[in-house]
Amino acid sequence: MKCVVCGVESENRYCARCGRVMADIVNTVGEERWNKIDDCAYIYPSVLRVARGELTVTDIVQFLEEED
């Protein structure tokens, strides 16, 4: 299996690095709000940028708030 964000080999849907970023995002925005997002694939490029150190989780949360 490969990480759906970055494509590296992983035993889970996300690799350890991307999984931590996704967990931080979900914890920050809250489970209820996160579950209302139909398809989160559009944030994967931003998640990858956070994993690389180019963005922060706060940047993604602000983007999600603008979407609301």
More confident residue, 45 or 64: 45
Cβ atoms of 14 and 7 within 8 Å: the answer is no
- Would you state the structure tokens that stand for residue 36, as one six-digit string? 């209302």
Round to whole Å and give the CA distance between 9 and 24: 21
pLDDT tens track for 12-58: 999 999 999 999 999 999 998 888 888 888 999 999 999 999 999 99
pLDDT for res 8: 95
Per-residue model confidence (pLDDT) at position 57: 94
Q: Please, which pLDDT band fits residue 68 given cuts at 50, 70 and 90? A: low
- Mean pLDDT in residue range 4-16: 94
What residue ranges do the domains of the chain occupy?
17-67
Place of tokens 């299996």: 1
